[in-house]
Amino acid sequence: MRDSDDNQLCDDLLARIHQEIMPVFEQAIANDSVIFENPHLQNCREQKQCEKKDCPIFNQKHQRCWQVAGTYCGGKIQGSFVEKYSSCVACDVFRNACPTIVEELGEHLNNMLFLLRKQKFRTLEDIRKIEYLNRELTTSLESLDAKNREIQELVITDKLTGLYNRHYLFTVMEDEVSRCSRGKYTFSLLLLDVDNFKFFNDTYGHPEGDKVLAALGRVLKETLRKSDRAFRYGGEEFVVVLPDTDITIAYIIAERMRRGFRDMRFPVELGTGGSVVETRTVSVGVAAHEAECDAYSLLARADEAMYRAKSQGKDQTIRYGETHL
């Protein structure tokens, strides 16, 4: 639920930028009075409880104190807008006026427009300050974009193992199936299931079981090639998508994963005060895409092969269509 809320918040911020910020750029070309209207502005004298009556805005309603030269702040007279800008944007008066990135972008835009309108003849220093404001705008937008990418990554990631989740699996598989339909290309699928996991959970508890699942996630990550992707399919089941890989190579990769996990050790503290060291194994089913396969039928083939591995003794890898061990 938190991931969904964060994603919605990011979408709302992007919508506000398009509705409230972008029109100001367009209108400001023809109208020198256009600014971003910010309802969160506060009077700096009241916020700072300032009694400097000789401040140029002491009895005025001008609320953007950072745009006024000669104001008091910290007990001394400040310089011009250009001179004091870098310190003003760090001031809590400015920060409190920008509760979200939308207001922050809007006020940076206002400041840029203020400077452009104030200076009819821009010197090299003026140009440098304008470029600085542009960088601030660009940085804010990049920050929002990075946050959006981070949220999207969280939405498709399983928190326990750090692998991708079931929802994203079908998106990836459908993309791979689509690639296969366009040319001479194939991919393979691995379905791994931790053997006797329910018994382990019932015996030692879910926190210890979570450690086993997280460890399998690490084994998969360490074994994957750059183009491969691993997913937690659900519970103790995992899926690995191997692009441009035939079933023989897929089998070799699966065996590397299976043996790597089998070699791991899991120390478990017992309620009696003692401890034991456990090991776990996985059964693996391997299937390669064929012309008649869609994402679901390919997954069903890997599932069938995995259950054959279970029924034939567990801790082994079976390829779909294989008739013997």
Cα 86 to Cα 66, 111, 141, 172, distances in angstroms: 10, 12, 19, 46
The SS3 assignment for 287 reads strand
Phi, psi of 122 (to 5 degrees): -85, 125
Q: Which two tokens stand for residue 143?
A: 């920050």
- Exactly one of 236, 255, 269, 278 is catalytic; which is it? 236
- CA–CA separation, 88 vs 109, rounded Å? 15
Phi, psi of 96 (to 5 degrees): -70, -20
Residues found in the chain: 325
pLDDT tens-digit readout, 245-257: 999 999 999 999 9
Q: Which two tokens stand for residue 122?
A: 């821009």
Portions of the chain given CATH number 3.30.70.270: 166-319
In the annotation, is 236 catalytic? yes
pLDDT tens-digit readout, 17-49: 888 888 888 888 788 888 888 888 888 877 777
Return per-residue pLDDT of the chain as tens, 325 residues: 556 666 777 878 788 888 888 888 888 878 888 888 888 888 887 777 777 777 877 777 667 887 788 787 766 777 777 777 778 888 888 888 888 888 888 888 888 888 777 765 566 666 677 777 788 878 777 776 666 666 666 667 888 998 999 889 989 999 999 888 887 788 999 999 999 999 999 999 999 999 999 999 999 999 999 999 999 998 999 999 999 999 999 999 999 999 999 999 999 988 777 889 999 999 999 999 988 788 899 999 999 999 999 999 999 999 998 754 4
- Please classify residue 216 by burial: count the beta carbons closer than 10 Å to its beta carbon, then call 0-12 exposed, 13-18 middle and 19+ buried: buried
Regarding pTM above 0.85, the answer is no
Q: Mind giving me the DSSP string for 79-124?
A: --HHHHHHHHTTSHHHHHT-SSHHHHHHHHHHHHHHHHHH-SS--H
The answer to whether residues 168 and 229 touch, using CB atoms and an 8 Å cutoff, is: no
In CATH, which superfamily holds the domain spanning 166-319?
Reverse transcriptase/Diguanylate cyclase domain (3.30.70.270)
